[in-house]
Structure 1
Amino acid sequence: MKVTAVHDRKMQFRIQARQHVLLSDQPVENGGEDEGMTPPELFLASLASCAAFYAAQYLAIRNLASGGIEVEVEADKLRDPARLGNLRLHVKSPVSLNADQHLGMERAVHRCLIHQTLLQPLSISIHLEMPVSR
């Protein structure tokens, strides 16, 4: 998988994955034009959409519902170092679930690729590339 972010102007970045493009920006009070989600909002959006996908699949496979799932993700902004923490997922099912189905839905959401990624120790390498000085 590969995603590329390119600085367009001011605080805006064009983000591309395969043929899909979206815009990230900052609110006006942070020097942006508020024309897109901030990077932390995109991070939470990734978790929410991944969890929603797994929840929707759970319902569809069991013929319980073919749409209508909603997932809300909230996080606190923590300091030292600055980061998001205390993530809370709120999954709203469009149909009532019995106790077994409720447990199954929770297990399905826990299998979300983003959720599982966040639960494991991460390794992030940074390679800085610059033009050669003459």
Structure 2
Amino acid sequence: MTRTAAETSTPLPPEAVHVLDVAHVDGDVYAVEVRGHRLLVDQPEETGGTDTAPTPVELFAASLATCVAFYAGRHLHRHGLERAGLRVRTEFTMAADRPARIASVRVTIAPPPGLSEQRRAALIAVASHCTVHNTLHQPSEIGIELEP
């Protein structure tokens, strides 16, 4: 028998649980509600979707990129440095075998112009500790179940 995270962990207080709701919209389009924000996902036309929104996998990679950007940006701000010009690019490849998954991810930080080598190195160190990056290195328990 497989145990879910809820069965193996100490119960969390309700305010510690983050809830996202996903609902079917049309075809391969789904909407996710996050704290009152609504995001859509779809699939490319070549895989049967209508390409009206990013795929879930693209949003996964975007989560990593935006988390890295946030950590880098906060580091710059904390040290009184300008964030203007900060950019992050994420490139990923899909695995050729099964199960379906991302095989590799490359994250590149373009720091603001004029940043010293020491500050550039610090950006890498700080950004590599973002929450999404940490979760990929220390995977969380995932339970998938049917609603009663």
TM-score by length of 1: 0.90
Aligned to 1:89: 107
Unmatched 5+ stretches in structure 2: 1-17
Query: Letter of the aligned partner of 1:14 in structure 2?
Result: A
Structure 1's unaligned 5+ residue stretches are none
Are 1:70 and 2:87 matched, yes or no? yes
Structure 1 match to 2:72:
55
Aligned counterparts, 1:24-39, within 5 A: 24-39=41-56
Partner of 1:100: 118
Q: Which amino acid aligns with 1:38?
A: T
Give 1:3 deviation, angstroms: 1.4
User: Residue 63 of structure 2 corresponds to which residue in structure 1?
Assistant: 46
Calculate the aligned-residue CA RMSD, in Å. 1.3
Kindly indicate whether structure 1 or structure 2 has the higher relative contact order, using CA contacts under 8 Å at least 6 residues apart: 2
Q: Do the aligned partners of 1:58 and 1:108 also contact (CA within 8 Å) in 2?
A: yes
Q: Deviations over 1:96-115 (max 9, x none)?
A: 33232122111110111000
Q: How far apart, in 2, do the equivalents of 1:124 and 1:94 lie?
A: 37
When the two structures are superposed, what TM-score results if normalisation uses the length of structure 2? 0.82
**Percent of residue pairs identical:** 36
Following TM superposition, where does structure 1 have runs of at least 4 consecutive aligned residues deviating by more than 3 angstroms? none
Matched, 1:119 2:137: yes
Aligned residues: 130
Give how far 1:70 is off.
0.8
Name the residue aligned to 1:8: 25
**CA deviation string 1:33-68 (max 9, x = no partner):** 111000100000101111000111111121221332
Kindly indicate whether the alpha-carbon contact (under 8 Å) linking 1:5 and 1:16 is maintained by their aligned counterparts in 2.
yes
